[in-house]
């Protein structure tokens, strides 16, 4: 069968399949194109064959006088002759085969050689260009030192009062512990780093943002770590302490009248304009040393989604050891719910993800009925009274690029009264002094816990602390004016 092995396909030129060392088969098939190591292996195999023949030939020369030996010698000699005949026959066969198949065989070999050279060149070139791309990205990649290193990896804390009241484990991601005081630190870092990596932002540049507060404060906090500055455009109905903090952090701040996003002077549109003006050194806000502007664009910039998909979501997964049944949060830009829901469902599609939506926001209807619609707009009350909600940073009436990536199973509505009462309940029972969006998230967590029933682990986000909300959400005069003075002693406000 050795010969048969050798002849199969006409390309096994070395020894037969059975006696040839296994590692050499591929090399022998490619023959002309094979690498040196395999060529040597092929030679070794030929030597092995040679040695085998010599061994057999040496037996008759050993001597020995008895008949048995003679008989054995005869048998061996007979065997030798037969073997020699077979060998000659095979050589003849090979010569015949070579004579007949030589041109196609040669063609085959050349084609194989050309193919392997082409493949090798292709892979070498693509590896080299990948390496060049990675090196140039690495060159731009900012190092994570100083304050930036302290962003993220926040504790996931058990909210004892809500867990005990519902029989579920209600866990809050303590984002208020980030250095800039909110979950938006993650987003600020990611937006700035991606902009620097792409070359859209350079050291000495200015990051502009239209933000009701938290994102701007986070950008203002981390921008200096990258040698950049921050300019913020903010609606003038946002809590005053937010612009005070921004200015204290060295940002320039513009407080503008709240108008529709379709208006050219909506705070987001002004911020976008300011970035262009900074690049063209057109505006007095920016000194002559400004190295260009970059509009952070947290609503539409998918670095926002990626910040949560790459950090918040994985941290929740790790911290719960994958034992999480549900996640719930409100949406402003939608970056948090989108990034976290996508990540968790990617790990386990059984994890339920929900939205809690404040008054005046169209997202509840979008998630539950597929249409963006708010009662307030339908009744035209927004025109008479622009006040929709006491909560800040959450609720929206348009679909952002970040929100559309969310993987949601459903939505709840939350009221301002519920958020206010929840915030006071958590201060009293748990010592948790939280901002309005966190309080709304906890309203959602209890709703969800009651629907799922005891025994489930539910995670929500504690976005920022109550410190940022003293002038409105924690101001009894303000709340009284809006009929929102807290009154509940327990969780009866959710019944
Ligand atoms: C305090 C606060 N909480 C929650 C949110 C909502 O998060 P996201 O924008 O990821 O939807 C925001 C957004 O600005 C915020 O400022």
CB atoms within 10 A of CB 237: 14
In this prediction, residue 410 carries a pLDDT of 98
CA 113 from chain centre, in angstroms, equals: 41
Helix axes 184-198, 214-222, angle to 10 degrees: 50
CB atoms within 10 A of CB 399: 13
Q: How far is the CA of 437 from the centre of ligand 1 (A)?
A: 7
Q: How far is the CA of 301 from the centre of ligand 1 (A)?
A: 14
In this prediction, residue 103 carries a pLDDT of 58
Q: Is 393 in the pocket of ligand 1 (CB under 6 A)?
A: yes
Q: What is the pLDDT of residues 20-70, one digit of tens each?
A: 333 333 333 333 333 333 333 333 333 333 333 333 333 333 333 333 333
- Distance, in Å, from the CA atom of 243 to the CA atom of 80, rounded to the nearest integer, reads 102
Q: What is the pLDDT of residues 380-391, one digit of tens each?
A: 444 444 458 999
Contact between 364 and 371 (Cβ < 8 Å) = no
- Distance, in Å, from the CA atom of 190 to the CA atom of 201, rounded to the nearest integer, reads 13
Q: What is the pLDDT of residues 289-321, one digit of tens each?
A: 788 999 999 999 999 999 999 999 999 999 999
Helix axes 184-198, 67-140, angle to 10 degrees: 100
Q: How far is the CA of 330 from the centre of ligand 1 (A)?
A: 8
CATH: 3.40.50.1100, 1.20.210.10, 3.40.50.720, 3.40.228.10. Which one for 154-164+301-494? 3.40.50.1100
Q: How far is the CA of 376 from the centre of ligand 1 (A)?
A: 21
Q: Using the structure block, give the residue that is written with the tokens 């493949």.
A: 119
Q: Is 165 in the pocket of ligand 1 (CB under 6 A)?
A: no
- The answer, yes or no, to whether residue 254 has pLDDT greater than 80, is yes
- Dihedral of alpha carbons 70, 75, 79, 84, sign: positive
- pTM for the model stands at 0.72
Q: Is 464 in the pocket of ligand 1 (CB under 6 A)?
A: yes
Q: How far is the CA of 204 from the centre of ligand 1 (A)?
A: 28
In this prediction, residue 456 carries a pLDDT of 98
The CA distances from residue 490 to 19, 165, 206, 332, in Å, are 85, 10, 47, 28
Binning pLDDT at 50, 70 and 90, where does residue 125 land?
A: confident
Q: Is 441 in the pocket of ligand 1 (CB under 6 A)?
A: no
Mean pLDDT of the chain: 79
Give domain limits for the chain. 2-102, 154-164+301-494
Find the distance separating the first CA and the last CA of the chain, reported in whole Å: 85
């Amino acid at each position: 069968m050795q010969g048969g092995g050798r002849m199969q396909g006409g390309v096994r030129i070395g020894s037969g399949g059975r006696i040839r060392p296994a590692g050499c088969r591929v090399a022998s098939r490619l023959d002309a194109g094979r690498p040196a190591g395999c060529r040597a292996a092929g030679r070794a195999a030929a030597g092995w064959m040679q040695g085998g023949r010599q061994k057999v030939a040496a037996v008759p020369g050993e001597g020995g006088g008895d008949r048995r030996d003679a008989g054995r010698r005869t048998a061996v000699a007979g065997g030798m002759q037969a073997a020699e005949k077979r060998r000659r026959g095979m050589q003849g066969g090979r010569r015949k085969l070579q004579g007949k198949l030589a041109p196609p065989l040669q063609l085959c070999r050349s084609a194989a050689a050309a193919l392997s050279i082409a493949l090798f060149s292709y892979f070498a070139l693509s590896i080299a260009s990948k390496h060049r791309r990675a090196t140039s990205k690495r060159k731009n990649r900012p190092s994570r030192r100083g304050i930036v290193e302290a962003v993220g990896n926040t504790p996931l804390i058990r909210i004892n009062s809500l867990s005990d009241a519902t029989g579920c484990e209600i866990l809050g991601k303590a984002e208020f512990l980030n250095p800039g005081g909110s979950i938006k630190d993650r987003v600020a870092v990611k937006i700035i780093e991606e902009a620097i990596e792409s070359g859209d932002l350079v050291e000495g540049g200015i990051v502009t943002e239209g933000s009701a507060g938290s994102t701007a404060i986070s950008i203002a906090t981390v921008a200096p770590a990258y040698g950049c500055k921050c300019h913020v455009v903010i609606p003038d109905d946002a809590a005053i302490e937010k612009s005070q903090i921004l200015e204290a952090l060295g940002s320039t701040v513009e407080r503008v009248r709240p108008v529709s996003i379709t208006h050219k002077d909506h705070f987001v549109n002004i911020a976008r304009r300011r970035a262009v003006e900074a690049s063209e050194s057109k505006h007095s806000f920016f000194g002559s040393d400004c190295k260009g502007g970059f509009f952070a664009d947290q609503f539409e910039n998918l670095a926002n989604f990626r910040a949560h998909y790459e950090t918040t979501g994985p941290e929740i997964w790790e911290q719960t050891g994958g034992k999480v049944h549900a996640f719930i949060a409100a949406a402003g830009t939608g970056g948090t719910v989108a990034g976290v829901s996508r990540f968790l469902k990617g790990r386990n599609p059984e994890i339920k993800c929900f939205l809690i939506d404040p008054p005046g926001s169209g997202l509840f209807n979008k998630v539950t009925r597929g249409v963006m619609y708010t009662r307030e707009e339908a009744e035209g009350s927004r025109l008479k009274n622009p006040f929709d909600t006491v909560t800040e940073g959450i609720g929206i009436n348009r679909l952002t690029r970040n929100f559309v990536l969310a993987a949601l199973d459903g939505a709840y509505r939350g009221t301002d009264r519920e958020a206010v009462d929840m915030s006071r309940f958590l201060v009293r029972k748990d010592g948790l002094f939280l901002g309005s969006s966190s309080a709304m998230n906890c309203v959602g967590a209890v709703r969800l816990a009651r629907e799922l029933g005891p025994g489930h682990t539910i995670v929500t986000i504690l976005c920022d602390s109550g410190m940022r909300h003293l002038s409105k959400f924690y101001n009894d005069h303000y709340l009284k004016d809006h009929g929102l003075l807290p009154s509940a002693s327990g969780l009866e406000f959710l019944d």
